[in-house]
């Protein structure tokens, strides 16, 4: 590989911590996959409202459809100058990198791709209910255009006004309890693995996703909130963030 | 192993096809796990209303709690005369057998226990919505005491009268569409595996669970319904049942 891979990503105001609404976890997953593999990359920042135009311009494929049937484009997307490939979606990016750079550590151990893809969905279903609380806490840390875009999108998806999504008080407290319950479910998964990672002693894409979420929580929530989270489940989450932070990422 | 393992199981009127309500899939999973490993076993039949008393008598552990907080006992349960062990819950039975009989083919390839347990939950969540339709179609095939017990349990769980759960007509048709959609999700998982099984070319407990469901569908639904199912997703489900039928089970 002669030139670094280009990672299209979304910026935020928080120093060292970008944020992209719904793509929050996905962008970190791409970063950590690249970093874990030791592949050089450089980030190109695209604000959310500009994603579609920019992705079309570089010939990226849509990653889904909007409710109205139109194409939906999302970040992260990579461009690999060494092969000319453009790949969107963090799972597809990891698959591409495992295949294209077989001498780097694999994030999909042999024969685990389907199981890990089911894990990915199950994790999203488990973490999903905590997203509204997180979005409300994190929104003020975004660039104004991205913040407005995220607010509008979330209001549509939740069929609620922004200020009603997770107001301080009983609703926020209930949200916090839901987060703790979700963490408990994920902790139960780890406890079955017989080791530190979801595949026991083998680090995999499943851990990359969990770590991506946890790292995001560690920077998006307030300090006391993250301190609380770190105390849950025997300190598992703080440990995972500490481990993933060994792989330095540019953000 | 000098003596066959005893498998506590629930009988039905359907020749060669026992049925145990909620434990439908779990009992077949235990059967196929034993058969795949080539371990000799004999079935002991316990009707649903007698499960709790019988399990307490042999010192089996409860597998969960009822909404009122009391212990809940379920089948399948095995007793292994060679070790004196009594194990309930199909996942725990498979774990026990892999560990106790390491020279038999493993159903958990190394480091996959947590991933497969998440798969187990995800499959249950995906198949779950089809259970009411299945229960209504299957109920007349049960022994009277078991049928009554199942009906009462399902009415409580669904907060609905038995005849309203899946009546013939639009509601049944909608149920059928949901089944087809659920199969589509599972087919999507398989398509990511790069092989015939969830772990590519490696058969695992994940396939045992899927096969257990499919085999149950093949005998519980009417012939035309199963013919329809077999035509879905490129004939994947008929193929899986054909494969699993190679392992003869006593039921």
Collect all residues of chain A within an 8 Å Cβ-Cβ radius of residue B202: 111
Q: Would you say residue A108 lies in a domain?
A: no
* Pairwise CB contact (< 8 Å): B189 & A118: yes
Residues A125-140, mean pLDDT to the nearest whole number: 82
Pick from B95, B115, B193, B208 the residue to mutate for testing the A interface (most A CBs within 10 Å).
Answer: B115
State the pLDDT at residue B185.
96
A115 with B110: Cβ contact below 8 A: no
Question: What is the percentage of chain B residues whose pLDDT exceeds 90?
Answer: 57
If you measure CA to CA, which chain A residue comes closest to B91? Answer: A192
Question: Residue A185's domain spans which residues?
Answer: 113-245
Question: Is the CB of A184 inside 8 Å of chain B's CB atoms?
Answer: no
User: Would an 8 Å CB–CB cutoff place A221 in contact with chain B?
Assistant: no
Residue A250, in any domain of the structure: no
Average per-residue pLDDT for chain A: 88
Within a domain: residue A26? yes
What's the confidence (pLDDT) of residue B209? 94
Same domain, A39 and A156: no
CATH number, domain containing residue A29: 3.40.30.10
The closest alpha carbon to A96, from B212, A107, A206, belongs to A107
Q: Is the pLDDT of residue B148 over 70?
A: yes
| Strongest mean pLDDT among A148-162, B37-51, B150-164, B199-213 | B199-213
Predicted confidence at residue B103, as pLDDT, reads: 97
pLDDT above 80 (res A206): yes
Categorize the per-residue pLDDT at A221 as very low, low, confident or very high, splitting at 50, 70 and 90.
Answer: confident
> What average pLDDT does range A233-243 have in this prediction?
94
- Find the mean pLDDT for residues B198-209: 96
Residue B12 has pLDDT above 70, yes or no: no
Name, in order, each residue with C-beta under 8 angstroms of B81's C-beta and a sequence gap of 6 or more. Answer: B2, B3, B4, B5, B6
Within this chain, do residues B236 and B182 fall inside the same structural domain, yes or no? yes
A82 touches chain B (CB under 8 A): no
In which band, very low, low, confident or very high, does the pLDDT at B141 lie, cut at 50, 70 and 90? confident
- pLDDT of residue A131 exceeding 90: no
Q: Which residue of A has its CA nearest to B193?
A: A114
Does A190 sit within 8 Å of B114, measured CB to CB? yes
Closest-CA distance, B123 to chain A, in angstroms, reads: 9
- Are B75 and B193 in the same domain? no
Whether residue B189 and residue A114 make contact (CB cut-off 8 A), yes or no, is yes
Chain B residue whose CA is closest to A111: B199
Terminal alpha carbon distance of chain B:
22
The pLDDT score that the predictor gives to residue B112 is: 97
| B240 shares a domain with B121 | yes
Q: Does the residue A105 lie in any domain?
A: no
H/E/C letters for each residue in A69-100?
A: CCEECCCCEEEECCCCEEEECHHHHHHHHHHH
Residues in chain B with CB shorter than 8 Å from the CB of A91 are: none
Chain A nearest C-alpha distance from B84 (Å): 24
Instruction: Give, in order, the Cα–Cα distances in Å from A137 to each of A95, A145, B14.
Output: 33, 17, 57
pLDDT confidence of residue B106: 97
- The 3-state DSSP class for residue A11 equals coil
Cβ–Cβ of B117/A192 closer than 8 Å?
Answer: yes
Q: What is the pLDDT of residue B40?
A: 93
- Count Cβ–Cβ pairs < 8 Å, chain A vs chain B: 76
Return d(Cα B10, Cα B43) in angstroms, integer. Answer: 9
Contact A199 B121 (CB under 8 A): no
- Reduced to 3 states, what is the DSSP secondary structure of residue B151? helix
In the prediction, which pLDDT does B250 show? Answer: 53
pLDDT on residue A217: 87
Among A138-152, B5-19, B37-51, B109-123, name the one with the lowest average pLDDT.
B5-19
Does B184 reach chain A within 8 Å, measured CB to CB? Answer: no
B204 CA: distance to closest CA in chain A (Å): 11
Considering the domain architecture, whether residues B94 and B118 belong to the same structural domain is answered as no
Q: What's the confidence (pLDDT) of residue A20? A: 40
Does position A62 have pLDDT exceeding 70, yes or no? yes
Residue A127 forms contact with B (CB below 8 Å)? no
- Tell me, yes or no, whether A95 and A182 share the same domain: no
Q: Do B192 and A114 touch (CB under 8 A)?
A: yes
The answer, yes or no, to whether residue A246 has pLDDT greater than 50, is: yes
Residues of A in contact with B125 (CB under 8 A): 125
Name the residue of chain B whose CA is nearest to A186's CA.
B118
Specify if A216 maps to a domain: yes
Contact at CB, A193 and B113, closer than 8 angstroms: yes
Q: Would an 8 Å CB–CB cutoff place A190 in contact with chain B?
A: yes
Cβ distance of B198 and A121 shorter than 8 Å: no
Q: Do A142 and A222 have their domain in common?
A: yes
Average pLDDT over residues B217-225: 87
Could you tell me if B158 and B95 lie in one domain?
Answer: no
In this model, does residue A23 exceed pLDDT 80?
no
Task: Let me know whether A16 and A55 are in one domain.
Answer: yes
The answer to the question of residue A107 being in a domain is: no
| Same domain flag for A217 and A148 | yes
- For residue A119, the chain B residues in CB contact (below 8 A) are 115, 118-119
Decide which of B100, B133, B165 is a domain's last residue: B100
The closest CB to that of A114, out of B121, B125, B190, belongs to: B190
- Binding-face residues of A in 107-126 toward B, CB within 8 A: 109-119, 121-122, 125
Report, as an integer, the average pLDDT of A193-221. Answer: 92
| Max Cα distance, chain A (Å) | 55
Q: What is the dihedral of CA A81, A83, A85, A87, to 10 degrees?
A: -80
As for how many domains chain B has, the answer is: 2
Q: CATH number for the domain including A209?
A: 1.20.1050.10
Q: Tell me how far apart the alpha carbons of residues B249 and B17 are, in angstroms, rounded to a whole number.
A: 10
Nearest CA in chain A to B111: A199
A91 and A128, same domain (yes or no): no
Are B64 and B148 part of one and the same domain? Answer: no
Q: Please answer whether residues B166 and B133 qualify as being in contact, where contact means their C-beta atoms are separated by less than 8 angstroms.
A: yes
pLDDT digits (tens, 9 = 90+) for B112-122: 999 999 999 99
The domain boundary, picked from B71, B100, B129, lies at B100
Last residue of a domain, one of A44, A65, A100: A100
Cα distance between residue B97 and residue B1, in whole Å: 12
How large is the ipTM? 0.85
pLDDT for residue A140: 80
Q: Is pLDDT above 90 for B48?
A: no
pTM above 0.90, yes or no: no
């Amino acid at each position: 590989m002669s030139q670094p891979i280009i990672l299209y990503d979304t910026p935020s105001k928080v120093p060292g911590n970008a944020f992209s609404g719904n793509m929050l976890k996905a962008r970190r997953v791409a970063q950590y996959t690249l970093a874990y593999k030791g592949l050089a990359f450089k980030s190109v920042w695209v604000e959310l409202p500009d994603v579609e135009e920019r992705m079309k311009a570089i010939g990226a494929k849509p990653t889904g459809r909007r409710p109205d049937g139109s194409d939906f484009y999302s970040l992260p997307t990579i461009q690999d100058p060494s092969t000319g490939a453009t790949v969107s979606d963090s799972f597809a990016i990891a698959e591409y990198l495992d295949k294209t750079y077989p001498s780097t550590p694999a994030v999909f151990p042999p024969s685990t791709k389907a199981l890990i893809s089911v894990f990915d969905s199950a994790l999203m279903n488990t973490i999903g209910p905590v997203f509204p609380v997180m979005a409300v806490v994190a929104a003020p840390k975004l660039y104004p255009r991205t913040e407005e875009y995220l607010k509008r999108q979330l209001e549509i998806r939740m069929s609620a006004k922004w200020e009603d999504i997770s107001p301080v008080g009983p609703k926020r407290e209930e949200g916090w309890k839901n987060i703790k319950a979700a963490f408990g479910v994920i902790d139960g998964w780890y406890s079955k693995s017989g080791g530190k990672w979801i595949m026991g002693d083998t680090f995999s894409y499943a851990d990359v996703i969990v770590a991506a979420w946890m790292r995001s929580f560690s920077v998006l929530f307030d300090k006391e909130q993250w301190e609380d989270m770190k105390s849950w489940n025997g300190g598992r989450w703080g440990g995972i963030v500490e481990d993933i932070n060994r792989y330095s990422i540019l953000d």
